[in-house]
């Protein structure tokens, strides 16, 4: 894959509340490890990061402001100079200054990861594409959990995760893996390994 020189990495709702209440069995237990590796490589390349946090308006939510669950997971806090965008609904573009920030910076491409694949990541991703941004979703740096279907059955998290990534990749942008993004961040190192040198 190729990264645009304006690309911004957006971390979505990687918050402690998802571990503090039983949301059901989740998929992708390696999500946090992938996401931390992605953040480290992105920051090492001195590219911009935006951190999004969900401040729930429901007082009994594990993500409500003032509760332990509202805090970002360790390692996912914004570093100096990185903006924190707080939202109250699924999309990070609704009721926030995210779009205006991106427009002001001349951003053409957004790279998203976070929690959960099918809700806040998917909603933000679809809106980003509809707003005209070149969309990249890092699929192995997202997760979701088992949920009941309308007819009372249970759908496992991996199936939901894969279904949403499939439709995002089919219609809205590209779904990639963490390793692909990290490789794209190091074009000079990659180019140095020419034919016969590997």
The backbone region for 73, taken as left when phi is positive above 0, alpha when psi lies in -120 to 50, beta otherwise, is beta
Catalytic site residue from 73, 118, 120, 142: 120
Given the residues 87, 118, 140, 142, the one annotated as active site: 87
Strands 154-155 and 147-148 turn out to be antiparallel
Residue carrying the six token digits 């509760």 = 67
Q: Any catalytic annotation for residue 13?
A: yes
First to last CA, the chain: 20
142 catalytic? Reply is no
Q: Peptide bond preceding 116: is omega within 30 degrees of 0, i.e. cis?
A: yes
Nearby residues of 30 by Cβ (< 8 Å), 6 or more positions away: 140
Catalytic positions, please?
Answer: 13, 87, 120
């Amino acid at each position: 894959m190729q990264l645009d020189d304006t690309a911004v990495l957006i971390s979505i709702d990687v918050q402690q509340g998802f571990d503090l209440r039983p949301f059901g069995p989740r998929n992708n237990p390696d999500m946090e490890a992938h996401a931390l590796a992605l953040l480290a490589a992105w920051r090492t390349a001195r590219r911009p990061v935006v951190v999004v946090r969900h401040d729930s308006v429901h007082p009994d939510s594990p993500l409500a402001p003032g509760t332990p669950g509202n805090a970002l997971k360790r390692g996912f806090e914004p570093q100096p100079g990185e903006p924190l965008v707080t939202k109250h609904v699924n999309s990070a573009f609704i009721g926030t200054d995210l779009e205006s920030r991106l427009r002001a910076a001349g951003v053409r491409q957004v790279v998203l990861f976070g929690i959960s694949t099918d809700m806040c990541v998917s909603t933000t991703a679809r809106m980003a594409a509809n707003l005209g941004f070149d969309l990249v979703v890092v699929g192995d740096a997202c997760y979701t959990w088992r949920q009941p279907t309308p007819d009372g059955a249970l759908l496992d998290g991996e199936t939901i995760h894969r279904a949403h990534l499939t439709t995002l990749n089919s219609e809205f942008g590209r779904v990639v893996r963490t390793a692909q993004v990290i490789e794209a961040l190091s074009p000079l190192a990659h180019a140095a390994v020419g034919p016969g040198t590997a």
